[in-house]
Amino acid sequence: MAKKWISLAVILGVVAAIALFAVRSFRRAEAHPSTENAYVSGDVFPVSSRIPGTLASVEVGDNQAVTKGQLLATLDPRDADRQIDQARTSLEEARSGLAKDRAQIEQARAKVVADESRLALARTNLGRFTELTRRDSAPRARLDDAVTAEAVAAADLSASRKALAATEANLGVSGEKVKVQQARLETAELNRTYCTILAPVEGVVSKKSGQAGQVVNPGQPLLAIVPLGTSHVFVAANFKETELKNIRVGQRVGFHTDVNPGRTYEGWVESLSAGTGAAFSLLPAENATGNWVKIVQRLPVRIAVAPESDSDQSLRLGLSVHVEVDTEAPLRTPATK
């Protein structure tokens, strides 16, 4: 009989221990939501040519570390140099035309001044012969000549002024031509600088496809650069909607990769996506039509990596990660990031 009570006590103790362990595990899981649906992600900087041309050289290879501003590739500059020469020639021609128009304006202004003097003299003579004819001191023919001379001088002055206005208008057109050709030259010189392709950031070369001798178009990918610093690398964790109740921005996160499960990285919840993966899929679900089956959705959560946690830059894009969020720890403030 005593053995039965002992056995019963042992069983009850085991059941109680299991129940206690289950309760504690449930509470811990609720306070420390975790997921294996997480991957290392980060910024990828595609590198392409901004102008059409032929690749003269490619200076880097796949998986090579590069620094910001390092030479990656060059384009054959002969077409760009030819465009610069043509633009300079056109600019010089436009400037010569402008100088010619300015000289013509000076000539036209001088003619206007001369015609004004002739008109003033003609009017003086007209007044003099009008008075002499009134006194019968000069023949009528002299007065007629004075009237004609005054009319001719007035007509010449009017024509000179119109010619001056036309020449000044041409000067404006020539000035615009100079501006256009100057802009064309600057564009050609800018395009010449695009023949040298430099690294936009420090990182590792990936997805290299450009080869020397290849004809490329603007925007055609040549390679990509992946920066491995913690300011560019993060973890994208997809939590079930039932696990999001206590997750907040700033909460501390611990995670490890499948490459090295024994090493724990640290970070914090940086942001929560505005929608689930299904909401932004190419073909979103149409739950208002047909039969409906409830599917638990997942929400992407972006996790920043603590700089001191990945000082050796061992995290690589695409690695599988196991993430655990500590919802009970104090929130990480911006000052401590």
**Hey, is 239 helix, strand or coil?**
strand
Average pLDDT, whole number, for the chain?
83
Comparing 155-169, 184-198, 211-225, 302-316, the range with the smallest average pLDDT is 155-169
| Greater pLDDT, 176 or 309 | 309
Q: What is the pLDDT of residue 121?
A: 74
**Which is higher by pLDDT, 134 or 180?**
180
Same domain for 82 and 160 = yes
Cα gap 314→263, rounded to integer Å: 11
Give the pair of three-digit tokens for residue 29.
Answer: 């899981």
The answer, yes or no, to whether residue 102 has pLDDT greater than 70, is: yes
Give the model's pLDDT for residue 335.
45
CA 202-208-210 angle, to 5 degrees, is 115
Q: pLDDT, tens digit, for every residue of 297-319?
A: 899 999 999 999 998 889 999 99
Pairing status of strand 298-305 against strand 233-240: antiparallel
Whether 323 maps to a domain, the answer reads yes
Residue 312 lies in a domain: yes
Domain annotation covers residue 2 = no
Query: Same domain, yes or no, for 84 and 136?
Result: yes
Instruction: Give 128 or 194, the one with higher predicted confidence.
Output: 194
- What pLDDT shows up at residue 225? 95
Single residue among 205, 226, 247 that ends a domain in this structure:
226
Q: Do residues 71 and 205 both lie within one domain?
A: yes
Distances in whole angstroms, Cα of residue 134 to Cα of each of 72, 110, 139, 146 = 96, 36, 10, 14
Q: φ and ψ at 70, to 5 degrees?
A: -70, 145
Q: Are residues 69 and 100 in the same domain?
A: no
Residues 6+ apart with CB under 8 A from 250: 268, 269, 331, 332, 333
Q: Three-state SS for 158?
A: helix
- Residues 220 and 297 both lie in one domain: no
Whether 208 and 63 map to the same domain: the answer is: yes
Express each pLDDT in 118-161 by its tens digit. Answer: 878 777 766 776 766 677 666 777 766 667 877 877 787 787 77
Q: Specify the higher pLDDT residue, 95 or 50.
A: 50
CATH code at position 300: 2.40.30.170
Compare 13 and 280 and report the one with higher pLDDT. 280
pLDDT for the residue numbered 28: 52
pLDDT higher than 60, residue 21: no
Q: Give yes or no: residues 97 and 146 share one domain.
A: yes
Same-domain status, 144 and 282: no
| pLDDT tens string 27-64 | 555 558 899 999 999 999 999 999 999 999 999 999 99
Residue 229 has a pLDDT of 82
Q: How confident is the model at residue 83 (pLDDT cuts 50, 70, 90)?
A: very high
Domain interval for residue 55: 45-75+196-226
Asked whether residue 203 falls in the same domain as residue 298, the answer is no
Q: Based on the structure, what is the number of domains in the chain?
A: 3
275 and 186 both lie in a single domain: no
Q: Are residues 39 and 88 in the same domain?
A: no
Average pLDDT rounded to a whole number, residues 181-191: 93
Residue 292 has pLDDT above 80, yes or no: no
